[in-house]
Structure 1
């Protein structure tokens, strides 16, 4: 009886070890597969340089209007969102070292119209350039190449996006263009 019990325990120990080995192999394969998928994923919703600016018209905070024609040439455009840490970093960098004159800079604040956090961010940008508040899924985002991740910084030329990036340096605006 003791021999049969010992054999049963040995068989169960081998089966358990085999199951654990297979389980860890499956987990390793899943992690490797997830890592490959993450590495192959495209940049989240960054418009491509060369994208034509689509048609839009939006009211700015200073009661002026911003349209596709008004940002078509030699403009710095920043799409930011409240609660976005990288957006705060780029806004602070812009404050420390303005990349262009206020009349050549437009900030689109994507958020809820009338939302206190969105309004606060828009107010904090006053004096840095024109500021307009828009819904996250808006005609402005579509016109600028389907912007849906933030910050998205752009430089425009000839009605197209000449450069697109997450930092001022990526769009060729790393130095002061005009000192105020």
Structure 2
């Protein structure tokens, strides 16, 4: 009986040691993945200046950097079919209504996709909207936007704040006085 118990204890020790080694390897791999993900999700840098771009808005007007180089502006990059983007659109309506800030929205997506059109229509009541297909030129012009949603607060064409949280990005925009 004792040899059977000893064999069982040795096997249990081997299995436990293998489990610990595999768990540590998994933790190390998760840390690497999270670090890579965090570095790829950096927001455009505060202090960056908007560079050249040109895109047609849904109203047919040509949008250029001149549109954001004067005064306070909110610029948002959203993707059709993105759940967090839809939630952000819902939260922006009451927040923007209380300010005098001009808003510019760039919807990244296939213009023929109904979700893209619906998002552009919802945003049209809040500000200027452009559907930009893959959006590489415009995202690059605004400091290299990489994630959706991205909100940028600009003053005279310079990025003052960036992120996905409207409370943080819009924090210092004065409320409208009646």
TM class by smaller structure = 0.7 to 0.9
SS at match of 2:147: coil
Structure 1: gaps (5+ residues): none
| Aligned counterparts, 1:1-180, within 5 A | 7=3, 9=4, 12-37=7-32, 40=35, 41-42=38-39, 44-73=41-70, 74-98=72-96, 100-101=99-100, 104-173=102-171, 177-178=175-176
- For 1:151 and 1:77, locate their aligned partners in 2 and report how far apart those are by CA, in whole Å: 11
Deviation at 1:97, TM superposition (A): 2.7
Contact kept, 8 Å, 1:77 with 1:107, in 2: the verdict is yes
Contact kept, 8 Å, 2:53 with 2:137, in 1: the verdict is yes
SS at match of 2:139: helix
- For 2:173 and 2:157, locate their aligned partners in 1 and report how far apart those are by CA, in whole Å: 23
- For 2:43 and 2:27, locate their aligned partners in 1 and report how far apart those are by CA, in whole Å: 26
TM-score normalized with structure 1 length? 0.82
- For 1:139 and 1:161, locate their aligned partners in 2 and report how far apart those are by CA, in whole Å: 17
TM-score normalized with structure 2 length? 0.83
Q: Deviations over 1:11-68 (max 9, x none)?
A: 6434422321122111321243245335643361411111221210000001111111
Deviation at 1:179, TM superposition (A): 7.6
Aligned length: 174
Structure 2: gaps (5+ residues): none
